Amino acid sequence: MMKKHRNLLNYSFDCLRRYRMRTAVILITFLIATTMISAVLFTKDGLEREAELSVDSSPDLTIQYIKAGRAEPISTAYIDDIAKVEGVERVLKRTWGYAGIGDKTYVVIGLDPTGLDYSRGVITSLESGRFLTPEDDGTGNVVVGKLIAGMLKVKVGDDMILLSESVDANKFHVVGVFSDESSIYTADMIVMCLSDANDFFKMPEGMVTDLCVYVEPDQIPNNVAAKMTSMPNVRILDQDLLLRGYRAAYGARGGIFTTLWTILLVAIALIAFSQAIVVGHESKFEVGLLKTFGFSTLDIIEVRLVESAVLGFFASSLGMVIGFVYAAYFNAPALVDILLGWAFLPKEFHLPVLVSATSVFSIYAVTVVPLLITTVVPAWLNAITDPELAMRRAAA
């Protein structure tokens, strides 16, 4: 039986060669479609991983002061009330905002020096230098993202100037550079001690932008948050909410993914349609002839299955490789702006690209499976028809 299967396999490859035009049309369409969709999906996967890393480094709960529905500076007087809530382990002050260097905008974060020994998450993952210590409070020492370091050509030990909102020049001293591990989170970030950030943003005395709450290890953050709902004028953000926000921003922005998936499905449907119409007659005749010679229905299905699977998997796999290279090495021109439109990231920023099994499986599922169905089902229908009738109908 092995020789027979080898014969059928050879025949399948012959079909790919013989139906050159159909092979080329499917190959090119699949390549374009899978290149586009894989570039988007792999980038989306990368961005979502970044979001997860970012959330890992954020506090269990973030408390903001809300006035007229908008976030405003919060008084540090809230700390005593929050600290008394059952399950709260620690409350830290934080001030953050945006700063400009040239025409670019970056995130400035001021951390509570009393919490700087509280290392958790990737925020302390450094490529060079050191992280801030309580002794850095008020010294102007900063840790910067790798992107900023690259753009400003600064390294550990260098000074940098930041312009505040009142256009005062503020000099800072770089003591550390973040690693790539959480690239999108730390890329545009400048971390300093709280008093330096408060000075920089000219925050009123006793005010910060938000409070970071860490709960005791055996406590569920949501349950602790529920006990704070009676506090007036505060908004409580937990990690799940932040993650959902990040995912919404990265993942489904502007319906781009839906649009691209639709384009892909339409392309596949068109191919399926052309398969059925253009090759249909020729294929019908061929199946009738093969049945006459003694090819069984299963033999014919095997031939068509191999033919479609080889073509579909080859085209989709190649498309995925090109899509990956397009995103990871060429930074997905034309896509990057759509994907990262919300962020203040210059073009020097390299997209985080991740190839997840789910995305690979999804791409194969929407490309190879329809192709298999649209080739195998008509072949099967012809194979169960009298060979003479199949050939007559094809000739008609």
Partner 1 sequence: MIEVRNLTKIFNRGKFNETVAVSDISLKIKDKSIVALTGPSGCGKTTLLSMMSLILTPTSGEILYDGDNLLSGSDNFKTNFRRMNFGFIFQHINLLPQYTTIENILLPLYAFDAEPKEYEERAYSWLKKLGIYDRATHLVEQLSGGEQQRAAFVRALIREPKYIFADEPTVFVDEETSRIIYRIFMELREAGKTIVLSTHDPELIKVADEVYKIKRGSLA
Residues that bind partner 1 (CB under 8 A): 1-4, 7-8, 10-11, 14, 18, 285-286, 289-297, 299, 384, 386-389, 391, 395
Quote the least distance from Cβ 338 to partner 1, whole Å: 44
Quote the least distance from Cβ 374 to partner 1, whole Å: 21
Quote the least distance from Cβ 391 to partner 1, whole Å: 7
Contact 233, 66 (CB under 8 A): yes
Quote the least distance from Cβ 372 to partner 1, whole Å: 21
Of the candidates 117, 59, 120, 56, the one whose C-alpha atom is nearest the C-alpha of residue 88 is 59
Tokens (6 digits) for 263: 């384009």
Of the candidates 190, 246, 235, the one whose C-alpha atom is nearest the C-alpha of residue 213 is 235
Name the amino acid, one letter, at 119.
Answer: S
Q: Which are the contacts of 160, defined by CB distance < 8 A and separation ≥ 6?
A: 101, 142, 144, 152, 154, 171, 172, 173, 174
Q: For partner 1, give the closer residue by CB, 70 or 293.
A: 293
- What φ, ψ does residue 218 adopt, rounded to 5°? -90, 5
Of the candidates 385, 287, 367, the one whose C-alpha atom is nearest the C-alpha of residue 27 is 367
Q: For partner 1, give the closer residue by CB, 11 or 65.
A: 11
Instruction: Kindly give the pairing relationship between strand 126-129 and strand 189-193.
Output: unpaired
* Separation of alpha carbons 375 and 358, rounded Å: 25
Contact 196, 110 (CB under 8 A): yes
* Separation of alpha carbons 343 and 152, rounded Å: 19
Q: For partner 1, give the closer residue by CB, 133 or 385.
A: 385
Name the amino acid, one letter, at 26.
Answer: I
Q: For partner 1, give the closer residue by CB, 16 or 215.
A: 16
Q: For partner 1, give the closer residue by CB, 119 or 296.
A: 296
Q: For partner 1, give the closer residue by CB, 11 or 214.
A: 11
* Separation of alpha carbons 298 and 372, rounded Å: 15
Q: For partner 1, give the closer residue by CB, 224 or 394.
A: 394
In order of 61, 104, 123, 124, the CA distances from 179 in angstroms are 25, 21, 9, 9
Quote the least distance from Cβ 315 to partner 1, whole Å: 21
Contact 94, 114 (CB under 8 A): no
Q: For partner 1, give the closer residue by CB, 12 or 183.
A: 12
Residue in this structure with the two tokens 């400048």, named with its chain if needed: 190
Tokens (6 digits) for 244: 């959902």
- Chain-centroid distance, C-alpha 243: 12
Quote the least distance from Cβ 26 to partner 1, whole Å: 17
Quote the least distance from Cβ 388 to partner 1, whole Å: 4
Q: For partner 1, give the closer residue by CB, 198 or 283.
A: 283
Name the amino acid, one letter, at 17.
Answer: R
Q: For partner 1, give the closer residue by CB, 7 or 258.
A: 7
Quote the least distance from Cβ 305 to partner 1, whole Å: 15
* Separation of alpha carbons 141 and 113, rounded Å: 12
Quote the least distance from Cβ 379 to partner 1, whole Å: 15
Quote the least distance from Cβ 289 to partner 1, whole Å: 6
- What φ, ψ does residue 237 adopt, rounded to 5°? -110, 130
* Separation of alpha carbons 185 and 128, rounded Å: 17
